[in-house]
């Protein structure tokens, strides 16, 4: 193969890759736009019902919130009691304390006994 065509091959590959990337991003943006407009319309109907003073069943409100994707039941609680982790532990690792190892060994022993 001649090297004089190599720049044209590289340019065509780059142009094709760029166009495929733009096509993917355009489709993803359209999908996101449709998803968010659906959420907005669900929540707008709920707001209109509440503004007009219509009685809305709490189960219906929860159902619409779940349909719109605003359920907070899947969010885990953050445990603030854990100590701060410094950069030294992140980069070099942390050696577990002897008490932690003993606690792990006794817990593993308990698990083993439960299986018997």
Domain map of the chain by residue range? 3-71
Please tell me the distance from the alpha carbon of residue 68 to that of residue 46, in angstroms, as a whole number.
11
Do 70 and 47 form a contact (C-beta atoms < 8 A)? no
Please tell me the distance from the alpha carbon of residue 110 to that of residue 96, in angstroms, as a whole number.
20
**Does 99 have pLDDT greater than 60?**
no
Looking at every residue in the chain, the average pLDDT score rounds to 78
Give this prediction's pTM: 0.47
Render pLDDT for 43-68 as a digit per residue (tens, 0 to 9): 888 889 889 888 888 888 888 878 87
**Does 15 have pLDDT greater than 90?**
yes
């Amino acid at each position: 193969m001649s090297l004089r065509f190599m720049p044209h091959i590289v340019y065509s590959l780059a142009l094709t890759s760029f166009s495929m990337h733009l096509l993917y991003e355009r489709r993803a943006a359209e999908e996101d736009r449709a998803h968010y407009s659906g959420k907005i319309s669900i929540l707008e109907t709920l707001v209109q019902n509440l503004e007009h003073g219509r009685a809305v069943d709490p189960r219906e409100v929860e159902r619409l919130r779940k349909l719109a994707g605003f359920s907070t039941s899947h969010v885990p609680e953050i445990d603030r009691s854990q100590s701060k982790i410094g950069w030294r532990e992140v980069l070099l690792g942390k050696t577990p304390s002897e008490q932690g190892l003993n606690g792990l060994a006794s817990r593993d022993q308990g698990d083993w006994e439960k299986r018997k």
